Each structure stands twice: as C-alpha cells, then as structure tokens.
Amino acid sequence: MAPLDYKTSLARYRRYLATVQEQPLLRASLYLVLSLLLIIILILAALRPTLITIASLSGDIKQQGEIEKKLDAKITQVSQAQQILSANETKLLVLNQALPIGEEFSIWGKRMEELAQESGVTLTGVALENYQDFALTVQGNYIQLKSFLNRVESLRRLMKIESVQIVSSANLTMIIKGKLESYEEK
C-alpha cells in the first residue's frame, strides 16, 4: 500500500475547488456580457429606427389634427366674413372713398377745387411731397376760410391736418398742412 500523500492531494483538491468556484461565475459573466452586447446592438439597429419612425408618425398625426381644427375654424371665420361682407357691400364703397388703395391724388385735388369753389375761397397752391404730405394755400375772407377748413375737416377722405396757418396781407391767406392717408396692400 502506497503511503498517503495528503499534501499533494490537498493542493489538487484546493485547485479543483478554485476552478469549480470560478467557472460558473465566468460562464455567468460571459452570458451577461453577451446579452448586454445583444441588447445594445438590437437597440441601435432595430429598436431606434422603429421607435423614431413611430414617434415621428404619431407627432405628424397629432400635428395634422391640430392643423385640421385650426383650418376648420378659419373656414368658419371666412364664411362668416363673407356673409358680413355681402351684407355690407354698399358700405365698402364708402370705405374705399375714405381710404383708397393707392394715393389717388387727382380725385383728392379735384375735390379740393370743388370745396374751394363751394366756400368761395381762391385755391392758390396745392403742394404734395413724398406722395403723402400736402400743403394747401387758399385766399379769402375769414368766414370763407373757416367754411373751407370745416369742409376739409369733414371730408370723407382720411387726412391728418397737422397745422393751419393764417397770414394777414391784402387778403387773408390760409396754409393748411397735413398728411393724406391711403391703404397700401402688403
């Protein structure tokens, strides 16, 4: 019978224990690493584009719904506006006279001549600058000048009278300065 070499056996047993102890851990760690790598690859290659497409389409649907609601409201507003417009069509001519599209100086100039004739004053000068600023020079007595100024003030055509100056010479001379309003299409 061979003598029992317990030291070698113990050493071998310890090595065996160490291996047995380490191997399941190593295997589990390897599986874990592989699983994590697989998840990362799946997220990058499959999940990401799919989720982004779904989110994008969902966002599109939501936005289109909101746009549809707004457009419906706009259609209602436009049809209401159309009804009001057709009901007040005759009055719009008045609006066009008050605030014409473009300057329309000639009509305004002729109207000024008519007003001067009606008031009995002499229109000696009409000046226009920058298609907006005007200066009217009229001559007559005080009552005539006052009547002319009243008529100009109560005219339908919109204008801002900035200053009125009366100069006394042989006749009274009145200089009216202001701004002519007109509508510019944007």
Partner 1 sequence: MKKNKTDRDIVLMLVMTLITLVSWLAFEVYRAYVIKPIPDVLAKQLIELNPNLDTVTLDKIEKRQP
Give the residues lining the site for partner 1 (CB under 8 A).
Answer: 22, 25-26, 29, 32-33, 36-37, 39-40, 43-44, 47-48, 51-52, 54-56, 58-60, 62-63, 67, 70-71, 73-74, 77-78, 80-81, 84-85, 88, 91, 94-95, 97-98, 151, 154-156
What is the closest distance, in whole angstroms, from the C-beta atom of residue 97 to partner 1 in the complex? 6
The single-letter code of the amino acid at 170 is A
Residue 140 to residues 76, 114, 147, 151, Cα–Cα distance (Å):
56, 15, 10, 15
Unique residue bearing structure tokens 């008519």 = 114
- For partner 1, which is the closer residue by CB, 73 or 167? 73
- Give the residues across from 167 on adjacent strands: 173
- For partner 1, which is the closer residue by CB, 9 or 96? 96
Closest Cα to residue 138, out of 93, 96, 171?
171
- For partner 1, which is the closer residue by CB, 5 or 153? 153
CA-CA distance, 120 to 100, in Å (whole number)? Answer: 28
- For partner 1, which is the closer residue by CB, 159 or 172? 159
**Greatest alpha-carbon span in the chain:** 160
What is the closest distance, in whole angstroms, from the C-beta atom of residue 168 to partner 1 in the complex? 28
What is the closest distance, in whole angstroms, from the C-beta atom of residue 131 to partner 1 in the complex? 22
Is residue 182 helix, strand or coil? coil
- Give the residues across from 180 on adjacent strands: 159
CA-CA distance, 99 to 105, in Å (whole number)? Answer: 12
- For partner 1, which is the closer residue by CB, 173 or 180? 180
